[in-house]
Amino acid sequence: MPKSITVMAFDYGTRRVGVAVGNSVTQLGQALKTIAAANSEILFLEVASLLKEWQPDQLVVGRPLHPDGTPHEMTAKASRFGNQLHGHFALPVSWVDERYTSAILEGDAKMQDNLDAHSAALILEQYFAEQPNTNESN
Domain span at residue 92 reads 6-130
CA distances from 19 to 32, 57, 62, 122 (A): 6, 15, 11, 10
> Taking Cα atoms as reference points, which of 110, 116, 107 lies closest to residue 10?
116
Q: Is residue 68 part of a domain?
A: yes
The neighbour count for residue 113, using CB atoms within 10 Å, is 9
Residue 136: per-residue pLDDT: 39
CATH number at residue 62: 3.30.420.140
Q: Is residue 112 part of a domain?
A: yes
The pTM of the full predicted model, rounded to 2 decimals, is: 0.87
Q: Is residue 138 part of a domain?
A: no
Q: Is residue 1 part of a domain?
A: no
> Taking Cα atoms as reference points, which of 133, 127, 138, 119 lies closest to residue 31?
119
pLDDT tens readout for residues 102-137: 556 556 655 556 778 888 999 999 999 998 754 433
Structurally, the chain folds into a number of domains equal to 1
Q: Is residue 77 part of a domain?
A: yes
Q: Is residue 30 part of a domain?
A: yes
